[in-house]
Amino acid sequence: MTIADIKKQMTDPYITNDTVKELYGLQDGLTFDDQFSSASLESIIFDDVATALWVNRQVFEQHKTDVSAILKEQMTGTANWYAWKAKQFQYGQELVQDTDYYDNTGLTSEQITAMQVVKYAAAVESQDKSIIYLKIVTEKNGNRQPLSAAQLTAFKSYLNAYQYAGVRVMVINDPADHMKQTIDIYYDPQVLDESGKRLDGNADTPVQDAIRNYLKNLPFNGMYTNQALVDTLQVLDGVVIAEIKFAASRYGAYTVFTEINAREVAHAGYYQISDVNLILNFIPNEEIL
């Protein structure tokens, strides 16, 4: 429901009220906006009230969404719960004996956050429901990366304390999947040069930066799609057409690159791409006669 809808729900009864009609000399068949200027005190009051009601409605809707997400995460034994519990891990602190929680008495929120080294987590069930793959990573200088060997050992001990008996959980704490791409960029010669630099000097690698930002800002264990990357590139100033000629990925140092068919979720939950694996062909966009 829009602000205009809320306002109409108030103004329709208002202009049909006999006392109001007599006071203002209103005519039947005309709307509120037909008979009151947008600059009138009455219109301003109704606008303000409608806006306040709309904001209040949005706040309650967001609250409902947030509560639902929390309940979904904390529903014991579900895949989402395993991911939520993983992020509660506090490196360097013991659980309360025979429990799956910590005693944080005397600790500040900053101290607790610093110990919670698992910054991203996702849990995925295998197709036969026999295994839960728990993907985890930490973050350093704004970049996702695996937990250290010591952190991983401590985390697995923590996991053993809360996982359900009989449930197989496989922890995936791997470096980012590597991506390889070849993309044709048809560019506007009035904005970019033949190497993709902006002519105004504001950026030397705007296309490369946009690709890396797209990959970096994917939700952890989120879906990569070729089309979404194309959409991201084609809104860049100076990029007329972006055409992905080849996209592939691999996980681990010894696996081979496998071509991506439209979409993919990273094995490790996140991607990176090196300069050598990012091939951009800049082609001046010329009119086809």
Q: What is the pLDDT of residues 99-115, one digit of tens each?
A: 888 999 999 999 999 99
Neighbours of 221 (CB within 10 A): 21
Q: What is the pLDDT of residues 146-165, one digit of tens each?
A: 999 999 999 999 999 888 87
| Rounded Cα distance, 178 and 253, in Å | 9
State if pTM tops 0.85.
Answer: no
**Within-domain flag for 39:** yes
**Within-domain flag for 155:** yes
**Within-domain flag for 289:** no
Position 71 confidence tier, pLDDT thresholds 50, 70, 90: low
Total domains in the fold of the chain: 3
CA–CA distance from 105 to each of 3, 26, 128, 162 (Å)? 46, 67, 42, 21
Q: Which amino acid does the sequence have at 10?
A: M
Indicate if 7 and 36 belong to the same structural domain. yes
Domain boundary among 72, 95, 111: 72
Domain boundary among 72, 103, 133: 72
* Residue 158 tokens, joined: 């923590």
Domain boundary among 172, 192, 226: 172
Indicate if 192 and 93 belong to the same structural domain. no
Place of tokens 């891990």: 89
| Rounded Cα distance, 201 and 184, in Å | 22
- Give the distance from CA 181 to its chain's centroid: 23
Neighbours of 220 (CB within 10 A): 17
Domain that includes residue 63, residue range: 3-72
Indicate if 210 and 226 belong to the same structural domain. yes
